[in-house]
Amino acid sequence: MRWKLGFGARIYNWYGKHALVYAAGSWLVFLGKEQKLRQRAVEAMGIKKGDTVLDLACGNGKNFALLENAVGAEGQIIAFDYSVGMLDAARSRTNAHNWHNIEFAQGDAAKLNLPANRLDGALCTLGLSAMPDHESAILRVATALKDGARFAVLDAKKFDGFWRIFNPLLRFLFVYTTNWDYRKNIPLTLNKVFGNARIDSFNSGSIFIAVSQKS
Ligand SMILES: C[S@@+](CC[C@H](N)C(=O)[O-])C[C@H]1O[C@@H](n2cnc3c(N)ncnc32)[C@H](O)[C@@H]1O
């Protein structure tokens, strides 16, 4: 059944083996602005060389190059995902680039169990909207962040304004081919937990970057 953990695992395991199909889907989601928006989300964390950063629901590792650039070889990236297939693809990418500072962990983000105050930054791109229990995941990230550290979330939602007429098409395209739950209000939950989410919208509201800071 859609929006359940098992349904998501099956779908994302398949994408882990079909990187080109996943890349084509990503192009559609970002309408060609993928690299620019991923870069913007990484910059929003304000991380620096030597920092430790979490890539929550890392998928096949599309953020790794940007994160490596930000934290350097002296920093550390924790790559967490539920899908074994996606993690395998992320490991292959890591080996191909000879990155040695990425620690992989498999599990449900709602049960993420990192030590408190460990992270200098956390990133989640297209992940929270695909999780059955995004509220618990956000709470877990908040605990693992150091005071003052930021959580950058880049995610998808339905179109606003005139482009709303395309929302049925959007649902049709992505509800059965991903675990995207368009009913979630992620900025609202981020605000409940952090109290200070700053939201920027792109592509007629269908993409947003929300940045929250632990205080
Ligand atoms: C659309 S993909 C995004 C992957 C990657 N962050 C990106 O930007 O390309 C959604 C990812 O969320 C992961 N995911 C879904 N539910 C999860 C959960 N409960 N815990 C951890 N990861 C989860 C999936 O396995 C998948 O890799």
Q: Can you tell me the distance from the alpha carbon of 64 to that of 93, in angstroms, rounded to the nearest whole number?
A: 9
Whether residue 153 has its Cβ less than 6 Å from ligand 1 = no
What's the average model confidence in pLDDT over 152-161? 94
pLDDT, residue 172, reads 85
Torsion of CA 55, 199, 41, 147, to 10 degrees: -60
Q: How many angstroms is it from 124 CA to the middle of ligand 1?
A: 8
Q: Which CATH architecture has domain 5-106+114-213?
A: 3-Layer(aba) Sandwich (3.40)
pLDDT, residue 151, reads 98
Strand order in the sheet with 207-213: 102-106, 76-81, 52-56, 119-125, 145-156, 207-213, 198-202
Q: How many angstroms is it from 182 CA to the middle of ligand 1?
A: 15
CB 156 within 8 A of CB 29: yes
- Structural element, H or E, at residue 89: helix 84-97
Whether residue 127 has its Cβ less than 6 Å from ligand 1 = yes
Whether residue 85 has its Cβ less than 6 Å from ligand 1 = no
The structure tokens listed for 170 are 């959007």
Closest to 133 (Cα-Cα) out of 205, 184, 206, 170? 184
Q: How many angstroms is it from 54 CA to the middle of ligand 1?
A: 13
% of residues, the chain, pLDDT over 90: 85
Whether residue 86 has its Cβ less than 6 Å from ligand 1 = yes
Q: Can you tell me the distance from the alpha carbon of 49 to that of 187, in angstroms, rounded to the nearest whole number?
A: 28
2 has a pLDDT exceeding 80: no
The structure tokens listed for 176 are 């059965």
Q: Can you tell me the distance from the alpha carbon of 14 to that of 119, in angstroms, rounded to the nearest whole number?
A: 30
Closest to 127 (Cα-Cα) out of 176, 68, 83? 83
Whether residue 58 has its Cβ less than 6 Å from ligand 1 = yes
Nearest atom within ligand 1 for CA of residue 132: 19
Q: How many angstroms is it from 179 CA to the middle of ligand 1?
A: 9
The structure tokens listed for 88 are 């395998």
Domain boundary assignment for the chain: 5-106+114-213
What's the average model confidence in pLDDT over 49-60? 98
pLDDT in tens, 9-54: 999 999 999 999 999 999 989 999 999 999 999 999 999 999 999 9
The pTM assigned to this predicted structure is 0.96
